[in-house]
Structure 1
Amino acid sequence: MRSVLFAAVVGLLGAAALHILIVLAVPGFTGNDAYTRIASLGDVQRFYPLPAAPARSGAPFSDDPALRIAVCALSIAERPVRLYAPDTVPFWSLGLFDRASNEVFSMNDRTSVGGALDVVVATPVQLNAIRKALPAELSQSILVEMADQDGYAVLRTFAPTATMEEGARAFLADAGCETIDTGATE
């Protein structure tokens, strides 16, 4: 009797573990993970503002009426990427994620230098090269190491009223997600 009860408990625990594993692995196998959906918006190294409703099935969209969001798929395989935006809105936040949607780095206007967004994302090797010969234009940049070569950035700004809408959209339009060419990284 004991062995039957033991087998039933082990079987249930194994089935539960397998079920959880399958549920967590499905997005990676279907191509419906966040990185793939963001990369499908267009070229890498470019911020794309998200619409309030999905433009097509599976496309990312912003479901919060008070937030304006832009996303950028990025690749640091060849060169580091610089994320920047001016200090023109009362609040912004940035989330940097690797290809598997693990958060690598986050910040907001309160933790930035002077309120503006200026972040350089690089591999460990690229970051060491940048630090050895730090260019003047990157002296105020926040340097972020990302082990994965592909990832994405999510830039958000708050626009709870119609009067803030134009400023929020202009902020996202002025945001940049570009590769940088420094002599130290070649």
Structure 2
Amino acid sequence: MTRTLLWLIGGLLLGGIIHLATILTLPLLAEETTWTRVASLDAENRIVVLPPIAPGEPNPLRLDPELSYGICQLDLSQGPAYLSGVLPDAFWSVALFNQAGVVTYSTTNRDGIGQTVELGIFNAAQTRLLAQQQIDIAEGLLVVESRTDQLFVLVRLAAPHQAMRARFEAELSEISCGPREG
């Protein structure tokens, strides 16, 4: 009886270890990830407004069909990046994602920012230069430090009425994203 119980416990432990190892390694083996999907949108250093998601259609990024989305891919090894512009007078949010698709920073217009978004995105080395006043920034710029150089920005807009969606998406396309010129 004791021997059978030991074999059962050993089998459960071994099964648990194999199960955990499988779960932890499967994402590393995936050929299509959130990052590869974003990279295929040609959104490097510019906002790309995503087409509306129709009910029943494929939704690989798992986006809410009621919202409008703009996406921008950044590489901070090229220098600091900036997200700048005026968004419509309705709910909006901005989120930074790392290559694994994990949110590293997020804000909304309900944080007291208003409709103008002025976001400076820096890596750790650039933040040190900023602290030493070797990088000039505009007054009122919201400074965000990223742990990684490769990331993407997702801007979400909630139009109060479907008839306003096209105007909101046009305003979203005017947002600048990427390194500052000059």
The alignment's TM-score, normalised by the length of structure 2, stands at 0.82
Q: Which residue of 2 aligns with 1:135?
A: 136
Q: For residue 102 of structure 2, what is the amino acid of its counterpart?
A: N
Q: How far apart are residue 38 of structure 1 and its match?
A: 0.2
Aligned residues: 179
Q: Does 2:111 match 1:105? A: no
Deviations 1:80-135 (Å, cap 9, x if unpaired)?
Answer: 11112304231110111111222110000122534311111111110121233253
Q: State the alpha-carbon separation in 1 of the partners of residues 12 and 52 from structure 2.
A: 42
Q: Which residue of 1 aligns with 2:28?
A: 28
Change (3 A) 1:135 1:32: same
Q: State the alpha-carbon separation in 1 of the partners of residues 128 and 114 from structure 2.
A: 25
Q: How far apart are residue 29 of structure 1 and its match?
A: 2.2
The alignment's TM-score, normalised by the length of structure 1, stands at 0.81
Q: State the alpha-carbon separation in 1 of the partners of residues 112 and 21 from structure 2.
A: 38
Change (3 A) 1:11 1:112: farther
Q: State the alpha-carbon separation in 2 of the partners of residues 107 and 11 from structure 1.
A: 47
Alignment of 1:1-186 (within 5 A): 1-53=1-53, 60=60, 63-133=63-133, 135-137=136-138, 139-180=139-180
Q: For residue 72 of structure 2, what is the amino acid of its counterpart?
A: C
Could you say what secondary structure the match of 2:126 adopts? helix
Q: For residue 51 of structure 1, what is the amino acid of its counterpart?
A: P
Contact 2:92 2:156 in 1 (8 A): yes
Contact 1:50 1:61 in 2 (8 A): no
Q: How far apart are residue 30 of structure 1 and its match?
A: 2.1
Q: For residue 70 of structure 2, what is the amino acid of its counterpart?
A: A
Report the aligned-residue RMSD: 2.7
Contact 1:65 1:160 in 2 (8 A): no
Structure 1: unaligned runs, 5 residues or longer:
none
Contact 1:47 1:72 in 2 (8 A): yes
Could you say what secondary structure the match of 1:77 adopts? helix
Structure 2: unaligned runs, 5 residues or longer:
none
Q: How far apart are residue 74 of structure 1 and its match?
A: 1.1
